[in-house]
Structure 1
């Protein structure tokens, strides 16, 4: 397990009710499962449309269970942005 920070942006931030919170997880899938448990409802729905950066690197289409989290790392939760 690693500890680090999850940062929420735009609609994810509004749904979470906070700009950031700590994670204690080994993979992105574990961290997101914990987030869904802590914030049932709107945030869980928003997460289905989000993209993620882990320590500045895009997750893309990789399975979240394959994305390892580092001690002291950062997960950015980025909902779709309007405009273009």
Structure 2
């Protein structure tokens, strides 16, 4: 199980109430479950619509339970952005 940092951007930051927080998880699915624990439905809605980077690499459409997190990794939570 790795320890790392989850960083929130834009609407995810507003819904989380913080820019970043630590996680302790082996997969992206576990880290997101930890982040969702105790938070409201607005945060869950933003997370469901977000894309994710692990140490700068896009997760894309891979199932979150198959995405291993490295120790010391950084998960970037990127909600959909308006504009272009």
What TM-score do you get using the length of structure 1 for normalisation? 0.97
CA drift of 1:60 comes to 0.2
RMSD: 0.7
Aligned ranges 1:2-81 → 2 under 5 Å: 2-81=2-81
CA distance in 1, matches of 2:79, 2:70: 22
CA distance in 2, matches of 1:63, 1:40: 23
SS in 2 for 1:52: strand
CA distance in 2, matches of 1:10, 1:18: 11
SS in 2 for 1:48: helix
CA drift of 1:41 comes to 2.2
The answer for unaligned runs of 5 or more in structure 1 is none
Q: How many residues align?
A: 84
CA distance in 1, matches of 2:40, 2:54: 22
The answer for unaligned runs of 5 or more in structure 2 is none
CA drift of 1:38 comes to 3.4
